[in-house]
Structure 1
Amino acid sequence: VGIPEDDRLEMQHSVIRRKGLTMRVCRRMKHTYPRAIRLATSGLVDLHSMISHRVPLTETPTAFEMNTNYTDNVVKIIVDV
């Protein structure tokens, strides 16, 4: 979790174009993880109510499809390993 010390990304633009890849990044939220962990471990936030589906590892592709298409009112999917 987090950003590595060597905060650089090297890539070949031709490969990205040829494969039609999409790159997505997210904004880093400083000091968010410690607060989230405290909330979760304190019991102040009911994380179990956020889990709408559980699937075995063999059904991971189905889980991604469900999540992408918001199938069956999906909120969070747990993949059991």
Structure 2
Amino acid sequence: MAEKVTPHFHNEPGVPVIHVGAKEFMCIGAKPPFDHPHIFLDMGREDEIVCSYCSTLYKYEPSLKPNEARPAECMWEVDVEPETP
């Protein structure tokens, strides 16, 4: 079974805008342990959205892959544990 992991982004650097390659993703605010609740954001038909917790502005950039961000350091790698039989 294929795993689909929702991209997670953070604004630890404090940049005014994060460009992302996905319209559906999770915002975590800052890196753990200073993260806010991981909130699911869905841009729908729009090309930008603001996180209601940290006020980070995310803009959709179709040239980026779904799990990419600009600046690149705003992508947070989620540890996914393999299923045990």
Do Structure 1 and Structure 2 share a fold, with TM-score over 0.5?
Answer: no
More strand by share: 2
Q: Which has the higher contact order (CA 8 A, sep 6+)?
A: 2
More helix by share: 1
Larger radius of gyration: 1
TM-score w.r.t. length of structure 2: 0.20
